[in-house]
Amino acid sequence: MKGIDGINLGSIFRDINPDIMLIYITGYEKYAYEAIKLHAAAYLVKPFSSEQLEYAVESARLLSKRRKSRIYVRTFGHFDIFVNENPVMFKSNKAKELLALLVDRRGGTVTTDQIIGTLWEERPNDSYTQNLCSKIGKTLEKELKENDIGDILVSSRGIKRVNTALFDCDLYDLLDGDERAAEKFLGEYMLDYSWAEARMALLAKYI
C-alpha cells in the first residue's frame, strides 16, 4: 500500500481484527522488534528457503487454531472454566476443586501430600486417601480431555500443575497489574473453597 509501511499497516489490521495472523517478509532485520510488538506469527528476512516459509505458515495456522479455542478461567466469585465462552460442566466437584487448587498455585507444582492436606484436610493421609486422590486426579484428566483442554494439566509422578500459557485467568491478570481485572474484582475469590481464604487475604489490597 503506497504511503504506509508494513509495520503501520499491520497495526491497522490488528486494530480491526485483534486475532489476525501477521507474517512479515522483508529484506531488513531492523524492523523485527516492531513486528514482535505486534505479536507477528513470523518474521522472514530475505533470502529464505521454502522450508522456512512453510514453517512460518504452519506456525501461524497452529497459533490461529489455538486462539480460536480460547480457555478462560474465572476465580473471582465462584470458580469456573470456560471454553469458547461456554462453561465446562464438571461431573465431579472434587475434580473441579483440584483444578481450582492448581490454578491458585499459578503453574507451581503441587504434590499428592499437598493436595490431600488441602482437599481432604480432615482425613488421615493413608493409603485409602492417597488412592482417592489418585482417582480424582484421573477423573480431572478425563474431564478436561472430554472438553478438548487436556493439555492445560501437567502430571508427572505424583506432581501436578497447570500450563498457564494455555489459558487466560482473571487472577493472573489482576496480579499482573491489569486495570480491567482490578475493576472486575469485588473482593470475592473462589467462594466455594475454604482453603482459598489464604489467597483472598493477599488480594484484599486490590479492593
For 55-111, what is each residue's pLDDT tens digit? 888 877 777 655 555 899 999 999 999 998 899 999 999 999 999 999 999 999 999
Shared domain check, 88 and 39: no
Number of structural domains found in the chain: 2
pLDDT of the residue at 1: 53
Could you give phi then psi for residue 157, rounded to 5 degrees?
A: 50, 55
* pTM score of the predicted model: 0.69
Cis preceding linkage at 47, omega within 30: yes
Shared domain check, 89 and 62: no
% of the chain at pLDDT higher than 70? 89
Shared domain check, 110 and 60: no
Shared domain check, 103 and 50: no
Which of 20, 37, 68 is a domain's end point?
Answer: 68
pLDDT of the residue at 135: 97
Which of 42, 68, 94 is a domain's end point?
Answer: 68
Shared domain check, 156 and 88: yes
- Say if 202 falls within a structural domain: yes
pLDDT of the residue at 33: 65
Q: Which domain holds residue 14?
A: 6-68
Q: How confident is the model at residue 113 (pLDDT cuts 50, 70, 90)?
A: very high
* pLDDT tens-digit series, residues 142-171: 999 999 999 999 998 889 999 998 899 999
- Say if 137 falls within a structural domain: yes
